[in-house]
C-alpha cells in the first residue's frame, strides 16, 4: 500500500522508524522488539539508510524481512549524497524487484573522511532521478518544524520545500519536535504559503540526559524547560524514562485532539517506551 493511501484515511495511524543493526545480537533484539510492536498494527515501518549507503545490504535485508516475513508495509529511506547515479539506479531496481513502492528521499550526510559528493547534491536531485526511472514510486520527504539547521531563513526553507512538492512529494515526515505549538505553527506556515503536503508528526520519546544532548546537537529541536529539568534532575534512569514516557503520552494525546491523525515514532530499535505510550492513545 502506498503511504498516500494511508495518510488520506480519516482513521488515526501510528508508524515506526527502525535502523539496520550492526551485529547478530542487535538483529535478534530488533526482531523481538518488532514482534512486540507489530501488535499495535503500525501502518508502515520506515528503515533508515546509512551515510553514503554504507549499510545498503542490511537496509534491504531489513526491508524485506518486515514486508515479506511480517507482512507489514515499509518505507525505504534513500540518501543520495556521496553516491553515483549507477548506485542509486541499482538500489531503485532492487526496491522494484521486492515490490517496495514507498521511498523517503533524503540528501543525507557524507561518510566520515569522504569528500566526493557523488552525482547528487540535494534531495531534489534524487527526487528528479527517481521520477526519471519510475514515476509510480510514492515519494516522501523530510520536513523540519523548526526549519533545517542549514536554512538561512524561513523563506529559503519554504521555497525548497515547495520545490520538493512540485517534484512530486506525496507526504512529509517531520523531524522530531517536543513543542506542539511549534508543529502547529509550521503547519500554518505551509497553509499560508499554499504548500499542500500531508505531514506525519515525528515523535521521539526522551529517556535520558545523554539522549537529550545528542538530539539537541544533531537537530537542534527545542525541548521545553520543564521536561529538560525533570529528566536531567531525575534521581535515577527509571524515573527519567517515566518522565519522558508521560510527556510523550500527553504530547500525542494533544496532537490527536488537535486533529493530527498520523504519528511516526522514532523507536531507536526499542519497544519499551512506544509500547507504553500507544495504549494511552485513542486510535479507533
Catalytic residue IDs: 17
Q: How far apart are CA 254 and CA 140, in angstroms?
A: 25
Neighbours of 224 (CB within 10 A): 12
Owner of C-alpha cell 505551509: 190
Owner of C-alpha cell 505531514: 199
DSSP 8-state code for residue 68: I
Alpha helices in 49-177 (DSSP H): 56-64, 85-97, 123-133, 154-166
41 backbone φψ class: left, alpha, beta (φ>0; ψ -120 to 50): left
Closest CA to 206 of 215, 193, 195, 198: 215
CA 14 to chain CA centroid, Å, is 12
Amino acid at each position: 500500500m502506498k503511504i498516500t493511501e494511508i495518510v488520506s484515511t480519516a482513521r488515526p495511524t501510528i508508524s515506526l522508524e527502525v535502523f539496520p543493526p550492526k551485529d547478530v545480537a542487535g538483529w535478534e533484539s530488533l526482531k523481538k522488539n518488532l514482534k512486540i510492536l507489530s501488535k499495535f498494527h503500525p501502518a508502515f515501518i520506515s528503515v533508515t539508510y546509512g551515510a553514503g549507503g554504507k549499510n545498503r545490504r542490511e537496509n534491504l535485508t531489513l526491508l524485506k524481512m518486515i514486508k515479506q516475513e511480517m507482512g507489514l508495509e515499509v518505507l525505504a529511506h534513500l540518501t543520495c549524497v556521496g553516491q553515483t547515479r549507477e548506485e542509486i539506479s541499482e538500489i531503485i531496481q532492487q526496491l522494484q524487484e521486492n515490490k517496495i513502492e514507498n521511498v523517503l528521499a533524503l540528501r543525507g550526510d557524507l561518510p566520515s573522511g569522504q569528500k566526493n559528493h557523488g552525482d547528487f547534491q540535494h534531495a531534489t536531485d534524487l527526487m528528479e532521478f527517481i521520477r526519471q526511472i519510475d514515476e509510480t514510486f510514492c515519494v516522501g520527504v523530510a520536513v523540519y518544524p523548526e526549519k533545517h539547521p542549514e536554512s538561512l531563513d524561513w523563506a529559503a526553507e519554504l521555497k525548497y520545500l515547495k520545490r520538493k512538492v512540485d517534484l512530486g512529494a506525496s507526504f512529509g515526515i517531520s523531524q522530531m519536535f517536543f513543542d506542539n505549538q511549534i508543529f502547529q505553527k509550521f503547519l500554518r506556515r505551509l497553509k499560508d504559503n499554499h504548500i499542500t503536503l500531508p505531514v506525519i508528526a515525528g515523535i521521539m520519546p526522551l529517556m535520558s540526559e545523554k539522549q537529550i544532548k545528542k538530539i539537541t546537537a544533531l537537530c537542534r529541536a527545542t525541548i521545553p524547560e520543564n521536561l529538560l529539568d525533570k529528566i536531567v534532575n531525575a534521581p535515577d534512569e527509571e524515573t527519567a524514562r517515566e518522565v519522558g514516557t508521560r510527556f510523550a503520552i500527553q504530547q500525542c494525546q494533544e496532537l490527536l485532539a488537535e486533529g493530527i491523525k498520523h504519528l511516526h515514532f522514532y523507536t531507536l530499535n526499542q519497544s519499551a517506551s512506544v509500547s507504553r505510550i500507544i495504549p494511552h492513545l485513542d486510535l479507533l
